[in-house]
């Protein structure tokens, strides 16, 4: 039997691709910017905080990444259309969308009012749906396929005892959106997947990496569920992300890729 005619050269190549990243200034958003930008993609970064966004753009400029910045969140059809127009104006097309925006609000359900719940759903579900809709129209019109990557979580699959009724619900909805669009857009050559991290090192999780007794106790309890035996680092997300944004994943759609050290396997 002869070897299959497989040429892995360029499987993970995203150089020259036009990528929109919403929620770019968050911890995962910055991982996305560094991974795709340093791999040669041209970035349209979007976030609500204009000052933080300009700082990030300056860092990407200094790293010789082609980048344009749009200080908008994916909270409305108007803003999502503006983000897409900005990418097309700057780079002529949209090839990749990564939705890194989102939020959490922790409280027992009996202490959480409907307004707080809806705020989480708006950030995590409505925003993902709105920007995917706007980008999908552009990708379908271009007629050359594309890559959409949502941000899910282990909490889209598993519950949590500490007041995660809004967050778990929102991430389960993102998983459903991923599967639905994966089915709907397959005929257009657009793959739709989600990356689902668990705890990884960031400003928000820095306390879990500390050496005090509380952090050690929480960390030990968490790591008892992680087969690989450690918390995540940003670099642990770069490989799965690049896979989902490149032609290496052309036959993968509607999947939730758990970057969690095996946490959800147990």
Q: Is residue 1 part of a domain?
A: no
Q: How far is CA 207 from CA 100, 216, 220, in A?
A: 22, 10, 13
Q: What is the pTM of this model?
A: 0.94
Per residue of the chain (266 residues), give pLDDT as tens.
788 888 898 999 999 999 999 999 999 999 999 999 999 999 999 999 999 999 999 999 999 999 999 999 999 999 999 999 999 999 999 999 999 998 888 899 999 999 999 999 999 999 999 999 999 999 999 999 999 999 999 888 888 877 889 999 999 999 999 999 999 999 999 999 999 998 888 877 787 888 898 888 888 888 888 999 988 888 899 999 999 999 999 999 999 999 999 989 97
Q: Is residue 10 part of a domain?
A: no
Q: Is residue 94 part of a domain?
A: yes
Q: Is residue 6 part of a domain?
A: no
Strand bridging mode 256-259 / 190-197: parallel
Sequence-distant (≥ 6) Cβ neighbours of residue 91 within 8 angstroms = 18, 42, 44, 66, 68
| CATH code at position 51 | 3.40.50.720
Q: Is residue 133 part of a domain?
A: yes
Q: Is residue 211 part of a domain?
A: no
Number of domains making up the chain: 1
Q: Is residue 146 part of a domain?
A: yes
CA gap 197, 231 in Å, rounded: 11
Q: Is residue 215 part of a domain?
A: no
Residue numbers of the domain that contains 186: 18-202+233-265
The predicted structure's pLDDT at residue 160: 81
Active-site residue, 167 included? yes
């Amino acid at each position: 039997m002869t070897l299959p005619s497989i040429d892995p050269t360029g499987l993970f190549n995203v150089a020259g691709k036009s990528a929109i990243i919403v929620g770019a200034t968050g911890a995962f958003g910055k991982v996305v910017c560094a991974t795709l930008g340093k791999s040669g993609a041209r970035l349209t970064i979007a976030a609500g905080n204009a000052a933080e966004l300009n700082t990030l753009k300056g860092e990407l400029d200094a790293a010789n990444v082609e980048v344009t910045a749009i200080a908008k969140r994916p909270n409305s059809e108007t803003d999502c259309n503006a983000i897409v127009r900005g990418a097309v104006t700057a780079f002529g097309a949209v090839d990749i969308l990564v939705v890194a925006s989102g939020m959490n609000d922790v409280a027992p359900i009996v202490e959480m009012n409907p307004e707080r719940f809806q705020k989480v759903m708006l950030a995590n579900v409505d925003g993902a749906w709105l920007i995917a809709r706007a980008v999908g129209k552009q990708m379908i019109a271009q007629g050359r396929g594309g890559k959409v990557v949502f941000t899910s979580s282990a909490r889209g699959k598993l519950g949590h005892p500490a007041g995660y009724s809004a967050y778990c619900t929102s991430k389960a909805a993102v998983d459903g959106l991923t599967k639905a669009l994966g089915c709907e857009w397959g005929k257009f050559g657009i793959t739709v997947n989600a990356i689902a991290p668990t705890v990884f090192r960031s400003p928000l999780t820095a306390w879990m990496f500390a050496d005090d007794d509380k952090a050690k106790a929480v960390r030990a309890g968490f790591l008892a569920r992680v087969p690989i035996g450690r918390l995540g680092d940003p670099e642990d997300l770069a490989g799965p992300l690049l896979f989902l944004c490149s032609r290496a994943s052309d036959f993968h759609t509607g999947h939730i890729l758990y970057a969690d050290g095996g946490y959800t396997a147990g």
